Copies of this chain bind each other. A is one copy, B any other.
Amino acid sequence: MHRPGGARAGAARRVLDLLRAEGVISRVELAERTGLTAATITNTVRPLVADGLVGEVGRDPQPGRGQPRRLLRLVAGAWHAVGIQVDRTSATIVVLDFAGARVATANLPGTGGRGPDATVAALADHVDSLLDRAGVARSRVLGVGLVTHGPQDLERGVLLTAQPGPEWLEYPLTGTLAERLGLPVLLENDANAAALGEMWAGAPRTDTFGLIYMASGIGGGVIVDGEVYRGRASNAVEIGHVALAGGSRPCVCGGAGCAQAEAAPHTVVARALGDRVLAERFAVTGARDGTLADFDRIARAWRAGDADAAAMLERSAHWIGQAAVTLVNLFDLDTVVLAGPAFAVAGTLYRDHVAAALERRALGRALSGPRVHVSSNAGSAAAHGGALHVLRTMPVGAPPRLPAAEPARGGAP
């Protein structure tokens, strides 16, 4: 088993990470990129090949440079990982192969008014059917990354908040899901997972950046030198609950004037619902679990040129810009990524407002102006990152042989 921890396991982990990031790479490049010696790379790669985790894929001809290099890549079908992002109004499940490629995705309703028992049961059913449809054998699934809003206790796998309802506080989320699926489950924060997903997609073009995640609520994540900033207990970057200058609306966190209270979709939708003409024009429903759908209707109206929709979104974007300035000044970042389903339609409007706010107020701008991107994968970056978190951190040994009856699609070499 190539477990995390220990010098040898650390080398295996770095080799697997680099192969996952690069796709195909030679032993020489592995040594160059990790700083490990050629001998260490040889000794690290050998058991990975023997275990069927890494395969050799032909040779890289190097004109005039002697023997061609043998190239390595991950055996995509060796293992899989599941990522589940769940929120009040939406949920996404993705299945990744061992190389980090997406082999299946499902978009589902969120928790809605349901309690954790019903939610976990429904998510487990969906995971079952998604694995079946993708032809992924259960015995080849390394684990599940469950991605929710914070604050969380990652070790115990519970939420430390009574959101979305009091029955969620301290409910044994990962324990119940693990028992139901017969698979290990890791809990992760939605914004951290989205940041991890973004980094692996290569979009931020830097290994130090911040991310603002907006779904029903607003969270934040920071990646420093390629790793998630976790602080004391992984409940960092609560950018949705910093009281902003000029803010006043009461927030579910008990404070007032937080970005989440001022800018999140429910506030924008509530404002539209307060004006009968606009509510009708945007076709917002006010349905209890339809906040993101209603928000998308307003965003589409903006896209179609509606000035009132633009004004509503700009009011929200003003607060996101202020939150981004705080994030950049406190974490010293030159890149901010906007991710999460709420940025899927009107991401460019938010991007332009955030860029303008950073231009005005970020202290570090003397070094270089902070950049702002909208995630190319705004809706499912968090679920994707949850599955990557499993691939990157769970102990991984030789995959079990598949019995004849079990499906084995998804990429034996």
Binding site for B on A (CB under 8 A): 150-151, 153, 160-161, 208, 220, 224, 229-239, 241-247, 253-257, 322, 325-327, 329-334, 360-361, 363-364, 366-367
Question: Which of A229, A244, A364: most chain B Cβ within 10 A?
Answer: A364
Q: What B residues does A331 contact at CB under 8 A?
A: 229, 231, 236-237, 330
Beyond A160-B367, A224-B229, A326-B330, 14 additional pairs, beta carbon < 8 A: A150-B363, A151-B366, A160-B366, A208-B231, A208-B232, A232-B364, A232-B367, A234-B332, A235-B367, A237-B331, A238-B363, A245-B246, A326-B326, A327-B330
Interface of A is mostly: loop
Q: What B residues does A153 contact at CB under 8 A?
A: 367
Task: Tell me the bound Cα distance from A235 to B243 in angstroms.
Answer: 22
Shortest Cβ gap from A3 to chain B (Å)? 15
A363 adjacent to B241 (CB under 8 Å)? yes
Q: What B residues does A244 contact at CB under 8 A?
A: 243, 245
B332 adjacent to A253 (CB under 8 Å)? no
Task: Tell me the bound Cα distance from A151 to B254 in angstroms.
Answer: 34
Among B231, B234, B333, B366, which residue has its beta carbon within 8 angstroms of that of A333?
B231
Q: What B residues does A237 contact at CB under 8 A?
A: 330-332
Among B151, B232, B325, which residue has its beta carbon within 8 angstroms of that of A363?
B151
Shortest Cβ gap from A105 to chain B (Å)? 31
Q: A160-B366, A160-B367, A330-B330 are in contact. Are A224 and B231 (CB under 8 A)?
A: yes
Q: What B residues does A364 contact at CB under 8 A?
A: 151, 160, 232-233, 235
Question: Which of A246, A254, A366, A367: most chain B Cβ within 10 A?
Answer: A366
Task: Tell me the bound Cα distance from A247 to B244 in angstroms.
Answer: 9
Q: What B residues does A220 contact at CB under 8 A?
A: 330
